[in-house]
């Protein structure tokens, strides 16, 4: 009899006591472009991809944020994302939460102003035929400012007298304004490209295996290229030499 009484009490409590569910506050997010839309730059981002993902143009973002060099955006900075051509879609306004959600401020580094070279070297905007960083089309069309790179400083320094059979280190002078480098190795007898490697702009050397991966042959040549946002803007001369026997 006592057990039955306890069971009845428990059932009554389940009917009376409400189940409290605390809603989880979703992080506010911006989408598209327009007034009030911002974007937190992540490592690996570039201005072209940010503009493409938000449906706007690099020029619109650069003008709104005082960016002079289109190839430099800093991870951790917050960019305003305006629309191009005056179109401003509605901005998503997240619901207010009580207590409000606190987001710490993000440090925005100063805008980099590259040095001026005399004479300047003009690099035209990329065409849609290179397949790496195609232009963004707007109506009306807009002009991408030229990129300035000191190609005159790009010279290979080693090897110049001969290559090893196997691992070989390649060295060159750094080129101000480049965002990465590419080393190409050719079979000098037929001109075929046999090896290629990319390295970041923080390095001025690369290690390649010019043994069996490079194929047969006695004479080989190499060159180094300076790139800006995956676009080749400078190419050194080719250095031709004999490779050691295996």
Q: What is the pLDDT of residues 8-61, one digit of tens each?
A: 666 666 555 444 433 333 233 345 888 888 999 998 888 888 988 888 888 889
* Full residue range of the structural domain in which residue 162 is found: 151-242
DSSP secondary-structure letter at 188? T
CA-CA distances (angstroms) from residue 216 to 27, 167, 219, 222?
58, 16, 9, 16
Q: Is 133 part of a structural domain of the chain?
A: no
* DSSP reduced 3-state for 233: strand
137 vs 92, residue with greater confidence: 92
Q: Is 13 part of a structural domain of the chain?
A: no
The pLDDT of residue 194:
95
129 vs 63, residue with greater confidence: 63
Q: Are residues 158 and 238 in the same domain?
A: yes
Q: Is 169 part of a structural domain of the chain?
A: yes
CA-CA distances (angstroms) from residue 236 to 27, 152, 153, 174, 199?
49, 9, 9, 12, 16
Rounded distance between C-alpha atoms, residue 237 and residue 132, angstroms: 23
Q: Is 67 part of a structural domain of the chain?
A: yes
Q: Are 46 and 73 in contact (CB under 8 A)?
A: yes
Q: Is 12 part of a structural domain of the chain?
A: no
Reported as a pLDDT band with limits 50, 70 and 90, residue 228 is: confident
Q: Is 185 part of a structural domain of the chain?
A: yes
End-of-domain residue from the set 57, 88, 109: 109
End-of-domain residue from the set 83, 109, 135: 109
Q: Is 50 part of a structural domain of the chain?
A: yes
Number of domains in the chain: 2
23-27, 100-104, 159-163: lowest mean pLDDT where?
A: 23-27
Summary mean pLDDT of the chain: 76
Does the pLDDT at position 219 exceed 90?
yes
The pLDDT of residue 147:
63
- In terms of Cβ atoms closer than 10 Å to its own Cβ (0-12, 13-18, 19+), residue 60 is buried
Question: Which tokens hold the place of 139?
Answer: 């109506």
The pLDDT of residue 58:
87
The pLDDT of residue 15:
57
Question: Which tokens hold the place of 148?
Answer: 């300035």
Q: Is 205 part of a structural domain of the chain?
A: yes
């Amino acid at each position: 009899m006592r057990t039955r009484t306890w069971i009845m009490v428990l059932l009554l409590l389940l009917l009376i006591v409400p189940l409290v569910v605390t809603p989880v506050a979703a992080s506010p997010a911006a989408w598209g472009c327009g007034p009030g839309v911002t974007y937190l730059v992540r490592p690996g981002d570039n201005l072209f991809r940010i503009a493409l993902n938000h449906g706007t143009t690099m020029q619109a973002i650069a003008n709104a944020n005082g960016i002079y060099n289109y190839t430099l955006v800093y991870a951790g900075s917050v960019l305003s994302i305006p629309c191009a051509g005056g179109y401003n879609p509605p901005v998503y306004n997240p619901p207010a939460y009580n207590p409000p959600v606190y987001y710490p401020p993000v440090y925005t580094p100063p805008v980099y102003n590259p040095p001026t070279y005399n004479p300047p070297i003009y690099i035209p905007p990329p065409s849609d035929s290179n397949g790496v960083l195609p232009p963004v089309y707007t109506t009306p069309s807009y002009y991408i400012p030229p990129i300035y790179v000191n190609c005159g400083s790009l010279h290979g320094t080693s090897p110049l007298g001969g290559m090893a059979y196997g691992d070989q280190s390649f060295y060159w002078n750094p080129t101000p304004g480049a965002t990465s480098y590419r080393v190409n190795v050719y079979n000098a007898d037929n001109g075929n490209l046999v090896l290629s490697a990319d390295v970041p702009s923080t390095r001025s050397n690369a290690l390649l295996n010019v043994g069996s991966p490079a194929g047969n042959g006695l004479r080989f040549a190499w060159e180094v290229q300076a790139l800006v946002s995956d676009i080749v803007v400078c190419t050194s001369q080719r250095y031709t030499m004999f490779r050691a026997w295996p």
